[in-house]
Amino acid sequence: MAVPVNFRESSISKIALAKVGNPLKGEPLLTSKDLCRFEENEADLLTSSFLVPFKSLEPYRVNIQENEESSLHNFAKKVFENDSNLLEQAKNISQYLYSKSYHPNIKSGDLCISLINGIIISGNSVPALCIIKCENKTPFLQISEIDGDLTLTTQHGIYPDKVDKGCLILNHQEQDGYTVYLFDKSGNTNFWNKDFVNALPIRDDDYLTKRFGELCVNFAKRGIQGDSDDKKRIKVANKALNYLGEHDDFKISEFENTLGEPELIEQFTTYKSQYEEDSGHRIDDQFKVSKKEANRAKQKLKETIKLDTGVRISLSSEFLDQSHDLLEYGYDEQKKMKYLKILFNEES
């Protein structure tokens, strides 16, 4: 089960800056000569701004390489051993990122590398190395007073919710590879997650249950062959997710028996192999079911009925099997239109 992380007592202590271009496009790398200065009363705002994007993310682990002189794991280790190394290691990190940016789709951006203390994990207070990259600046307006009068100026800056890429490396379980939280809003995680951070997922019960839930939903949507209608597809996904909700231990052989039809089992086995290859998420044949992730998967599954009058009706997963009892279709002869009657006990 994933270890919860608490940011409430966190405080930023040092920041180094860089501008990282794309070497393929002839764009330069610029690194700050000194650490960024900020007032003590700005620390709380900076801390919360830097940590906002990392809330509610899955934990990963930084992969330890045999020859890791030039690796993010090694740079972070030197900072954790002596925080006075931050400026030097920030330059190494920026150069390392620059060396990985040889692709026409990689955008240039502003890099903030900071040391944040007081992050609580497993009951321990640990420092973290925070790296965020902003590739798109947000325009904003500012009213200023100049010579006794007010003037309106436009500026461009980094908005915390608009940060494009980030990783937060915690000084936790270094012997296994530091615990790291990371994101890449571009959707293409190969460059940031694999090439730069070299992160591996922590394959705990939460991870395996979540991945299997995704597999079931994707299989129902795209993996079932033939002329199956949407209702059958949703029922297959619902049946699969019900298995997770009703069992403490997942066993692939037991699960396949719930599908019933031999043809459906064969299609699922084929789709599972393809899913694992395409996504890079291998799912074990046996694992402890995380009830938290099983419930989340069920909440994401729903049937939506779209009508040409702009009305949408959504049935959550717990009511999918009862749709034929809760909905009644009819035709209004006077208005020459179809109608849908919804049955319910009370509003929730």
C-alpha–C-alpha distance, residues 287 and 269, integer Å = 17
Residue in 162, 169, 7, 183 with CA at minimum distance from that of residue 86 = 169
Is 110 within 8 Å of 17 (Cβ atoms)? Answer: yes
Predicted local distance difference test score (pLDDT) of residue 73: 94
Predicted local distance difference test score (pLDDT) of residue 251: 93
Tokens standing for residue 313: 């009706």
Instruction: Please tell me the pTM assigned to this model.
Output: 0.76
The 3-state DSSP composition of the chain as helix, strand, coil percent (nearest 5) reads 40, 30, 30
Predicted local distance difference test score (pLDDT) of residue 55: 87
Predicted local distance difference test score (pLDDT) of residue 304: 64
Is 21 within 8 Å of 99 (Cβ atoms)? Answer: no
φ and ψ of 140, to 5 deg:
-150, 160
Predicted local distance difference test score (pLDDT) of residue 96: 96
C-alpha–C-alpha distance, residues 50 and 83, integer Å = 18
Is 96 within 8 Å of 196 (Cβ atoms)? Answer: yes
DSSP 188: -
- Residue 160 burial by Cβ neighbours in a 10 Å radius (0-12, 13-18, 19+): middle
Residue in 108, 110, 106, 90 with CA at minimum distance from that of residue 156 = 110
**DSSP 3-state assignment of 14?**
strand
C-alpha–C-alpha distance, residues 47 and 127, integer Å = 13
Chunk the chain into consecutive blocks of 10 residues (it has 348) and report each block's average pLDDT, rounded to whole numbers. Answer: 80 96 95 91 90 89 81 94 96 96 92 96 94 85 80 72 90 91 86 93 90 86 68 75 89 88 87 87 91 81 71 65 68 84 79
Predicted local distance difference test score (pLDDT) of residue 146: 80
Residue appearing with tokens 């129902």: 220
Predicted local distance difference test score (pLDDT) of residue 30: 96
Predicted local distance difference test score (pLDDT) of residue 294: 86
Predicted local distance difference test score (pLDDT) of residue 257: 87
Tokens standing for residue 98: 């620059």
